[in-house]
Amino acid sequence: MYDRQRILGLRRSLSRRSLSNFFLLVLLAAPSTLCIAQAPDHSSHAPGGPVPREILDRPVPLRTGIGSVHESVSTASPEAQSFYNQGLSYLHSFVWIEAIRSFHQSLRADPNLAMAYLGLADAYIGLQDVPTARSAVERARTFEKKLNQRERSWLAIRDAEVAFLQDAADPDSYVAYRKAVGDALKLNPADPWLWIQRGLADEASPFTHGQAGGVDTLAFYKTALALAPDNLPALHYYAHTCESIGRVKDALDLTATYARLAPAIPHAHHMHGHELLRTGRTEEAIQEFLKTKELEDRAKSFSYNDLLIHPELYYERIREYENKSLALQKLGAGEGGNFNLYLKLLYRSFKKGLKF
């Protein structure tokens, strides 16, 4: 929260500085929007509400630029396998809606592909829609007799994960979830996907989906990368863990690779932008945030919540104004100097194509 005295103090201290430096200090000083000294807040990837079924059921084409991900599943349909892979790519980059659409497309090619239903369950966990995730698990269970040993392990894992979410107050449900992953690893210790899941299971809730790892999870993701160096989800979650524990240089390098391998994924640019900003490379960070906005706008998924989390997206727009004092004056003009209110008004003006 910003009060008027604090805003005015900032204005006086910045009178001889460029608007770009001013806005950077706003970013540095605004814990409710962005914190550079600590690990970035990626809460904008949480769902904003129920997604209409007609959107989730829409057909989707195969796409490029989202990262190359592959996990062999039991299907005779190359098309079903391809869309399943695409679903995984989107799923592990937090693009939940496109992941669901891709898994649905996989099921159109092979209605008996149980692993696609388990992928749907994981994506619905991302949307925090636990009842629908449970329905997807139960649909996968109807094909249990046709599953191979590895796929039965994944059914047990996803079943236990959803059960934990259904009764998170029961510690036994968490133990059962972790045990399901451990049992699967005993049977398939060279499976990188299981090591990734082991890292995810180390977090307090499946809803955080790789964004709340600690020192212990580093080993799990590193093992997955050792087994499959090209596994993009393992790299993504390893990067999140590095940024969470303050290994900024490693996170910077990893997110640069992530953005290069998945150039059409908004989250990849968003992550790299945060790490650039944390290392003082502000102009490069701005370009990554602008790329994030461009990709999200293209997908019509940008929201007011994103603006509150990432006000730096509008840095370029603000610095177009030659009259710095106007921008400074407007910053303190909200009711009570409320910074979030200012951002809300700014966002509305952009939506309407107006100047502020």
What is the full DSSP assignment across 177-243?
HHHHHHHHHHH-TT-HHHHHHHHHHTSS-GGGTTSS--HHHHHHHHHHHHH-TT-HHHHHHHHHHHH
What pLDDT, in 10s, does the model give residues 276-313? 999 999 999 999 999 998 888 777 543 434 444 444 44
- Half-sphere exposure (CA, 13 Å, Cβ side) for 298? 9
Residue 40's pLDDT band (cuts 50, 70, 90): low
Residue recorded with tokens 């796409």:
63
What's the gap between Cα 178 and its chain centre?
Answer: 23
What pLDDT, in 10s, does the model give residues 191-209? 999 999 999 999 989 999 8
pLDDT at 91 over 90: yes
Crossing angle for the helix pair 248-261 and 266-278, to the nearest 10 degrees: 150
Residues 108, 78, 158: CA angle, nearest 5 degrees? 65
Crossing angle for the helix pair 248-261 and 232-244, to the nearest 10 degrees: 150
d(CA 201, CA 217): 9
320-to-22, 289, 313, 342 alpha-carbon distances in Å: 14, 17, 13, 18
Q: Which of 309, 304, 228 is nearest to 267 (CA)?
A: 309
Sorted by sequence, the CB contacts under 8 Å of residue 246 that are 6+ apart come out as 39
pTM as predicted: 0.74
What pLDDT, in 10s, does the model give residues 223-250? 999 999 999 999 999 999 999 999 999 9
- The per-residue pLDDT for 162 is 98
248-to-213, 279, 299 alpha-carbon distances in Å: 15, 8, 30
Residue 18's pLDDT band (cuts 50, 70, 90): very low
d(CA 30, CA 12): 18
Mean pLDDT of the region 317-346 = 43
Residue pair 201/242 in contact by the 8 Å Cβ criterion: no
d(CA 274, CA 268): 10
In this structure, which amino acid lies at residue 128? Q
Q: Is 250 helix (H, G, I), strand (E, B) or coil?
A: helix
d(CA 257, CA 49): 32
Kindly report the CATH number that applies to the domain delimited by 35-309. 1.25.40.10
